[in-house]
Structures are given as C-alpha cells and as structure tokens.
C-alpha cells in the first residue's frame, strides 16, 4: 500500500533553513514537500530583526570573523565548521540577493552604493548585513515567494510532525497531523530533513514565536538520534518589558549603534562586568542584567539610544520604533524597558558537516541542529548564516544520494482505533504553564545543582502524566507541542547536570569557574532503547 503522500524529499519546517534547502533541491528537478506547523511565516526566521553576519568591509577579514566566533563560543566551537561557515558568508548573501532580498544600502563618498553593515555583540567589525530592523521578514517573504513559484515544491501549511517512521535505522517517512482537517497523514520520502527551529518556548519568557517548541529535537531523539550541548540556551539580553508586549525583541543592533543599558536612576552598569560594555557577548550581558535585577529588586533595566538623532533612530529601527510607540514608548525621547528572555537553542540534534544525523537519510539544518558552529554561546547574526550554509551543504549531499534511493513502500498507517477525543484539555494548558515556569525558575540564566534537581523531579512527573494523556486521547497541535517540549526540557536539564563548570551560556553558582584543567568537552546524550517512537 502506498502512503498518502510520496516525495523525494520531505522538509519539515518553513523557515530560512528549510526553504533554502527546498529551493536548492527543486532547481535540480527534485520533488520536494515543505511542511509548516502553522502559517509559512510563523517560524523564527520571519521575526529575526538583526541580520546575517558576513565579511564585506575592506577592514574586516574572514580570520577576524572566525576568531570572534571562536571567542564567543567559549572553547567549544568546532574550528573547521566555523571556518567552513564564515568562508561561505559572502556567497550566501549573494544568493539571497538573487532570490530578491533587498538589503539596506548606503552611499559612499564617491556616490556609489554598498551594503550597510551593522555591528553587534561579539563582533570586532561591522559585518551584519540587514534589511533595516526586519531582516528575517525580508528573507522569509522572498524565499516563500520563490518556493510558491517553483513547480517542484509543494507547500503544506498547518501540518505538525508527530513522529518519524524508521526501518533498520533508516528514516522512511513521517506521521503528520493536519490541524486544518484534524487528521493524521502518512508521508513517505526518500530523504527527510528536520528544519523545525529551536526550543525557547520551554521557558516562561521568550523572544520566539509560539512554534519554537523543540519538535525536531524531540522526534529525532525518539527515533534514536544523539543530541548535544542543550545546556547552552541563549537568553537575549533585551526583550521589551511591557504587560502587553508579548516578548517583543529589541535588536542587538540598537546597542551596536550606541544604545546604553542603564538602571532606573539612569546610571550605566555594563562597564562593571566587561570592558566591551554593551557589545559584550550575549551571555555576559544577560547575566549582568539578571544580576542587577535580582540585586536591586527591580523588574527591568533600560536601553537608551535617545542621545542619537531622532531621524537616525527612525531610519535604522523603523519597526522597533513603531512597536514601542504602540506601548507609548518613544525611543527617540526615552529609554526602553527591557529584560532578558530565552532566544536561541545553541545545542540540538548532532550532525556532521553535511547536516547528516545518526539515522540514515535523516538530515537536520538550522537551529534544530548542533553543527559545532556556536559552541557554548552563539555570536549574534551567525544563526541565519548557519541556515544558509548548511542548507547548501545538505543539498549537495542529498543530490548525490537521491539517485541511489527508491521510494519507501507499505508504511504502516496511523492507528487511533483505541483512543477518543479529550474531555480534559485543561490538563494540556496546565502542564504547559507548569513546565515553562519551573524551567524559568530552575534552569534559567543562573543555575545550581539544587535547582536542576528540583526541575528534574518535576519533569519526570510531567512526562508520566503527558504520556498517559497522549496514549488515551486523539492528538491535537497543543498536545503534540507539550509532548515534545517536556522531552526537550528533560534533555536540557540532563545536559546541564552533566556540566560541572560554568562555560558560555551555562552558568552555575556551584561551579562558577570554567574548568581549564582539561580540553573543553561537548555534552552528548544518546537515547536508550526505551526512546522509540510509537503510534496510537
């Protein structure tokens, strides 16, 4: 029996990584499906403000970009992966421009135009290519438009991955929940690619959209893939603090253009923590803000760029300016209240330099993957670059492999004959809230052994409750996200418990120093035999 849907390549995720890969494959006449959990624009790429790091300035160099990235990664970056990535920066930007992305430009003294480059935390030069303060939106819309025009790409909105289907350690398809039709569908494919993004919604406060629930990490783990370095959750230092702000991100580029972090009395404080001040790497800035808030008992700090000309602010940060105005904050006249929030998952599904995972014919690209680029702390604007470079790498490998593969047949259909509709959906919302609260309280910016122990106790109880609920009731999008999120929360805690030092984004009061007595080690978790996907 054939599956309901059959494609050469199934890409799960419609952000920058997934769409880039789909376009590069489709241009070689490959039949590609792209699944989006919600709308095509619902992922993190669409909301990315800052930009993409690449060397264009004559005073900059690839070696400088490499060294800045290694420095931010606190000893855990794979130098060869970093070199590979930064070496492909310019060509990645050129490819995006070919797809119709219009980056912000400026005039030279000779009257010519060139790309305007921002500088962000951790960078020693201006090298962040951007489209005003809405780079992700420009990239996302251009790639979606190109994908919609391509007859070799089929786009599926409102399709949420449930589990991968594997045979003899080879990925052959996926069970997918069609939330529009409220039914489970079976997709068969020669190659499956996870491009599902990160897991920042495991935390109470996040800059990410609702879709960032670690789906790809969880399904890969259940299928038998290793994960690595999930203790390194990046907290963006500057998220708008407002009851109705819904965790709106204030781009790092605001600090790059002279924005100062100040206390309620107007005094600066970053110089007490790092000589680079506001342009220190994100982990340092986030911890500094967290320290000041707890020390002084304040709800937030402030980001002030009002000393720059109003016309400059409106030109460089039009979206942030308008968003703040909606909350009666005029950033040209007053500072912006900000707090740290979960922003980026530096670890993920372990991959090689071609985005291959432990399972044959299963790839992972973008934030879902752990490539070795970010190490213990991602440097600003390296994430979209990683999406582009590794989508290209994966496409090269997939194109070579596809001619040797045949379409999987006789995949088992989803069986829900023994389940019913839920009459207790409050369990899902209650568990979701509990999970995000204890992750924020116990596995946040500053950790201790006792806090991690408490978090693990709670996650074990939730896992059992969610598994029982999942076994008895038909799936919904909310249930699938909760099922995945509790798995990823457990993996984050387990990784954090294994690291007996402070390094990069992992800071613990019990081991406040970095252990330099031995070479830095990645944290790698391997599923046991009980971690296998199961259908209804």
Please count the other Cβ atoms lying within 10 Å of the Cβ belonging to residue 125: 17
Check pLDDT > 70 for residue 44. yes
Q: Which of these is catalytic: 119, 127, 146, 282?
A: 282
For residue 343, what pLDDT is reported? 94
Q: Could you give the CA distance from residue 324 to residue 326 in angstroms, rounded to a whole number?
A: 5
Give the largest CA-CA distance in the chain.
Answer: 73
Range(s) within the chain of domains with CATH label 1.20.58.100: 426-512
Q: What is the pLDDT of residue 29?
A: 86
Q: What is the 3-state secondary structure (H, E, C) of 132-161?
A: CCCHHHHHHHHHHHHHHHCCCEEEECCEEE
Coil, helix or strand for 336? strand
At residue 117, the pLDDT reads: 96
The H or E element containing residue 128 is strand 128-129
Contact indicator for 207, 194 with CB cutoff of 8 Å: no
Say if residue 363's pLDDT is above 70. yes
What is the pTM for the complete model shown?
A: 0.92
In percent, how much of the chain has pLDDT > 90? 85
Average pLDDT value over all residues in the chain:
94
Q: SS3 of 125, please?
A: coil
C-beta separation of 165 from 173 below 8 A: yes
| For residue 532, pLDDT beyond 60 | no
pLDDT band at residue 431 under the 50/70/90 scheme:
very high
Q: How confident is the model at residue 38 (pLDDT cuts 50, 70, 90)?
A: very high
Spatial distance between the Cα atoms of 383 and 379, rounded to a whole number of angstroms: 8
> Is residue 426 very low, low, confident or very high in pLDDT (cuts 50, 70, 90)?
confident
Contact (CB, 8 A) for 62 and 86? yes
Quick one: angle between helices 215-223 and 477-498, nearest 10? 70
Residues of each domain in the chain carrying CATH 3.90.700.10: 237-340
Looking at the DSSP assignment, which residues form a beta bridge with residue 34? Answer: 11, 155
* CB 44, CB 197: distance < 8 Å: yes
Helix (H) or strand (E) holding 498: helix 477-498
Predicted pLDDT at 535:
42
Domain made up of 5-232+346-404: CATH architecture: 3-Layer(bba) Sandwich (3.50)
Residue 388: left (phi > 0), alpha (psi -120 to 50), or beta? Answer: alpha
* Three-state secondary structure call for residue 7: strand
237-340 maps to CATH 3.40.50.360 = no
pLDDT tens digits for range 517-531: 999 999 999 997 444
Q: Which residues contact 525 (CB under 8 A, 6 or more apart)?
A: 226, 227, 228, 230, 491, 494, 495
Q: What span, in angstroms and rounded, lies between the C-alpha atoms of 348 and 51?
A: 22
- The whole-number pLDDT of residue 404 equals 97
Contact in structure between 493 and 203 (CB atoms under 8 Å): no
How high is the pLDDT of residue 206?
92
State the pLDDT confidence band at 205, using cuts at 50, 70 and 90.
Answer: confident
Mean pLDDT within 414-435: 85
Every domain range in the chain assigned CATH 3.50.50.60: 5-232+346-404
Per-residue confidence (pLDDT) for residue 478, from 0 to 100: 94
pLDDT, tens only, 373-400: 999 999 989 999 999 999 999 999 999 9
pLDDT for residue 534: 41
Beta bridge partners of 165: 173
- Quick: pLDDT tens for 86-143: 999 999 999 999 999 999 999 888 888 999 999 988 899 999 999 998 999 999 999 9
Confidence at 2, pLDDT banded by 50, 70, 90: low
The span from the CA of 79 to the CA of 405, in Å, is 33
The residue among 52, 520, 388, 361 whose CA lies nearest residue 371 is 388
Cβ atoms of 520 and 503 closer than 8 Å: yes
> Does residue 424 have a pLDDT over 80?
no
Residue 27 pLDDT greater than 50, yes or no: yes
Residue with more model confidence, 157 or 3: 157
The CATH number corresponding to 426-512 among 3.60.20.10, 2.40.340.10, 1.20.58.100, 1.20.1250.20 equals: 1.20.58.100
pLDDT recorded at residue 166: 97
b (16+ CB within 10 A) / e for 483-501? bbbbbbbbbbbbbbbebeb
Does residue 3 register a pLDDT over 70?
Answer: no
Q: Is 255 a catalytic residue?
A: no
Q: Does the pLDDT at position 445 exceed 70?
A: yes
């Amino acid at each position: 029996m054939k599956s309901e849907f059959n494609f050469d390549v199934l890409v799960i995720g419609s952000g920058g990584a997934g769409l880039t890969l789909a376009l590069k494959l489709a241009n070689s006449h490959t039949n590609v499906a792209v699944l989006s959990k919600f709308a095509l624009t619902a992922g993190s790429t669409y909301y990315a403000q800052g930009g993409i790091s690449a060397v264009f300035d004559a005073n900059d160099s690839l070696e400088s970009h490499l060294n800045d990235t290694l420095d931010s990664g606190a000893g855990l970056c794979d130098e060869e992966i970093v070199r590979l990535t930064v070496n492909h920066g310019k060509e990645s930007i050129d490819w995006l421009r070919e797809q119709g992305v219009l980056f912000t430009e400026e005039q030279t003294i000779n009257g010519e135009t060139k790309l305007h480059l921002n500088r962000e935390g951790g960078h020693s030069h201006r090298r962040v290519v951007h489209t005003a303060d809405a780079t992700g939106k420009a990239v996302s819309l251009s790639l979606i438009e190109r994908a919609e025009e391509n007859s070799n790409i089929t786009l599926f909105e409102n399709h949420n991955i449930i589990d991968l289907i594997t045979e003899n350690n080879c990925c052959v398809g996926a069970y997918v929940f069609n939330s529009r039709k409220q039914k489970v569908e079976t997709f068969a494919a020669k190659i499956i690619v996870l491009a599902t993004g990160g897991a920042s919604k495991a935390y109470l406060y996040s800059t990410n959209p609702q879709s960032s629930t670690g789906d790809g990490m969880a399904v890969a783990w259940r299928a038998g893939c290793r994960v690595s370095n999930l203790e390194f959750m990046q907290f963006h230092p500057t998220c708008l603090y407002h009851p109705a702000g819904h965790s709106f991100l204030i781009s790092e580029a605001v600090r790059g253009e002279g924005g100062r972090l100040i206390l309620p009395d107007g005094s600066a404080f970053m110089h007490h923590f790092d000589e680079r001040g506001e342009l220190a790497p994100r982990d340092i800035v986030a911890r500094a803000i967290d320290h000041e808030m707890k020390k002084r008992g304040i709800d937030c700090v402030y980001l002030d760029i009002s000393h720059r000309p109003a016309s400059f602010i409106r030109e460089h940060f039009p979206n942030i300016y308008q968003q703040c105005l909606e909350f009666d904050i005029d950033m040209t006249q007053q500072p912006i209240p900000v707090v740290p929030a979960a922003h980026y998952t530096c670890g993920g599904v372990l991959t090689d330099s071609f985005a291959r995972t432990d399972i044959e014919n299963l790839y992972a690209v973008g934030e879902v993957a752990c490539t070795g680029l970010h190490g213990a702390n991602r440097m600003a604007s390296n994430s979209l670059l990683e999406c582009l470079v590794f989508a290209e790498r994966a496409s090269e490998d997939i194109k070579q492999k596809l001619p040797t593969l045949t379409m999987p047949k006789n995949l088992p259909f989803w069986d829900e004959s023994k389940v019913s509709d839920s009459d207790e959906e409050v369990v899902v919302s209650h568990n979701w809230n509990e999970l995000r609260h204890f992750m924020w309280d116990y596995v946040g910016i500053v950790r201790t052994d006792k806090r991690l122990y408490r978090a693990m106790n709670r996650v074990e109880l939730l896992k059992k409750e969610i598994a029982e609920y999942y076994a008895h009731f038909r799936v919904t999008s909310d249930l699938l996200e909760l099922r995945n999120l509790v798995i990823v929360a457990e993996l984050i805690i387990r990784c954090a418990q294994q690291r007996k030092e402070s390094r990069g984004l992992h800071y613990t009061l019990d081991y406040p120093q970095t252990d330099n007595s031995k070479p830095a080690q990645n944290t790698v978790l391997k599923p046991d035999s009980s971690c296998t996907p199961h259908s209804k």
